[in-house]
Amino acid sequence: MSKDTFDIIVVGGGPVGAAAALALSRQGFETALVERGSAPPAYDPAYYDLRVYALAAHSMRLLDSLDTWQDIAAARLSPYGGMRVWERGPEHALRFDCADLGRTELGWIVEHSLVVAALWARLGEVVRYERAVVESAIFDEHASLLRLAGGRELRARLVVAADGADSQLRGLACIDTVGWHYAQRAIVCHVDTQRAHRGIAWQRFLASGPLAFLPLADGRCSIVWSAEEAHAGELLALDDAAFAARLGEAAEHALGEVLRTTPRLSFSLRLLHAQDYARPGLVLVGDAAHTVHPLAGQGVNLGFADVQQLTSTLVEARDAGRDWSASRRLHSYARARKAANLEMLAVTDGLYRAFRLRLPGLKAALGLGLEAVDKLGPLKSWLARQATA
Ligand SMILES: Cc1cc2nc3c(=O)[nH]c(=O)nc-3n(C[C@H](O)[C@H](O)[C@H](O)COP(=O)(O)OP(=O)(O)OC[C@H]3O[C@@H](n4cnc5c(N)ncnc54)[C@H](O)[C@@H]3O)c2cc1C
């Protein structure tokens, strides 16, 4: 095998791509990782990343199987044991507690930069191409080719596109997407609150968009506040004291006053779903295949589930002596993941609309808001399943 020829090339070294490259390499596939940026810097505990994920149990198990969970746990993570979700009055919140589900936690809040640094630090035998720009690609069953700027050619039996929501590879393969922009921005920052978060994730559904307070290891909360563009622009323009006051009011002071806030970042929000996750010689994983509203905190969790499914599909075929990179295997991966991803897209989009659109009769249909949801066993079980899967 010449130096630039591999079993599998993963394009995109974010959390999902790095996990895919590591998982596939650990299973004995000769793997390369192509990232257009630089390698992530080593994790610096003095810097608390403003981008955090709420990881579900299956994501923890994947990271554990890749020996990265121990590194993450040794650096910093924040387990949370409860969730409170409400529309009006935190005292009426829909409650989830890990004890009711027979678990010691519902999930973990982990920094994006820590997850990425921990995965990259374990890449070991994975050949890395950093600051690499893909200029063109040919996708073919068993024989795909990527041409990089500067003329280098990389060949592989399979290319995995993990290059995010604006996936260049998805475009090169002419895979259509469906979806829309929410005309909303998510504002994120870390805040000190008057009352302790007690290891609970708090989320209020406002008509203008959901607002989450996620518990951090140092006692602060990470905020994700989704609001319409104009409203978000107004919130971003406020000074820290005025923003903290608005935030406290918006959360109905569930944790008392907001005392201090870090600088704010913001992200525009959209829903996107690729019509195909597979073409001969190419599969999509992570945000390249599906991008969801962050209100359920599921984006990277879905991507990690893609990685688990793809790895097990390919390993099972190879170990049974079958052609692991044949299109039918790739379609079998796609079928398995599409159903779960579409369910999540539909539910998060449905929740977003249910609370944002003041449709006549909708509130009545929902009863008196989230108080009523507590009585809706099936929805509560669905939410609990997502939190603990
Ligand atoms: C405000 C907000 C809050 C969120 N909260 C949560 C949460 O609590 N829980 C959760 O599960 N998810 C959450 N998400 C979603 C989560 O951020 C994404 O689902 C996740 O980052 C997707 O990972 P990815 O690796 O697929 O893509 P990305 O993180 O976008 O990584 C893509 C990588 O590919 C590289 N790349 C891009 N194009 C190319 C190219 N052409 N060639 C080579 N490399 C390329 C990029 O440099 C990057 O390294 C949140 C999102 C937002 C906006």
Is 227 part of any domain?
A: yes
What digits encode the pLDDT tens for the residues 100-157? 888 889 999 999 999 999 999 999 999 999 999 999 999 999 899 999 999 999 999 9
- B/e letters for 121-150, b = 16+ CB within 10 Å, e = fewer, are bbbeebbebeebebeebebebeebbbebee
Provide the domain count of the chain: 2
52, 53, 148: which to mutate for ligand 1, most atoms within 8 A of CB? Answer: 53
| Triad 11, 16, 20: Cα angle to 5° | 70
Q: What pLDDT sits at residue 30?
A: 98
336 and 265 in one domain? no
Q: What pLDDT sits at residue 61?
A: 97
* Higher-pLDDT residue of 361, 208: 208
Is 74 part of any domain?
A: no
261 and 205 in one domain? yes
What CATH number does the domain containing 168 carry?
3.50.50.60
Written as six digits, the tokens of 121 are 């630090």
Query: Is any atom of ligand 1 closer than 6 Å to the C-beta of 188?
Result: yes
CB 20 within 8 A of CB 170: no
Q: What pLDDT sits at residue 359?
A: 47
What digits encode the pLDDT tens for the residues 188-206? 999 999 999 999 999 998 8
36, 110, 120, 264: which to mutate for ligand 1, most atoms within 8 A of CB? Answer: 36
282 and 197 in one domain? no
Tokens 């209020």, residue located: 204
262 and 199 in one domain? yes
Confidence bin at 20 (pLDDT 50/70/90): very high
170 and 222 in one domain? no
Number of the ligand 1 atom closest to the C-alpha atom of 168: 41
219 and 103 in one domain? yes
Ligand 1 midpoint to CA 249 (Å): 31
Residue 330 has pLDDT above 70, yes or no: yes
Query: Is any atom of ligand 1 closer than 6 Å to the C-beta of 186?
Result: yes
Residue 366 has pLDDT above 50, yes or no: no
Which of 41, 10, 282 shows the shortest CA–CA distance to 128?
A: 10
The residue range of the domain holding 184 is 79-109+180-269+357-388
Which of 57, 2, 58 shows the shortest CA–CA distance to 30?
A: 2
Is 102 part of any domain?
A: yes
Query: Is any atom of ligand 1 closer than 6 Å to the C-beta of 50?
Result: no
Ligand 1 midpoint to CA 2 (Å): 32
Give the span between the Cα atoms of 75 and 110, in whole angstroms: 10
Query: Is any atom of ligand 1 closer than 6 Å to the C-beta of 11?
Result: yes
pTM score, whole prediction:
0.92
55, 58, 163, 188: which to mutate for ligand 1, most atoms within 8 A of CB? Answer: 163
Is 251 part of any domain?
A: yes
Is 305 part of any domain?
A: yes
DSSP per-residue string spanning 253-292: TBTB-EEEEPPPEEEEEEEEEES-SEETTEEE-GGGTEE-
CB 98 within 8 A of CB 105: yes
The SS3 assignment for 217 reads: coil
What CATH number does the domain containing 233 carry?
3.30.9.10
Using CA positions, which residue lies closest to atom 15 of ligand 1? Answer: 299
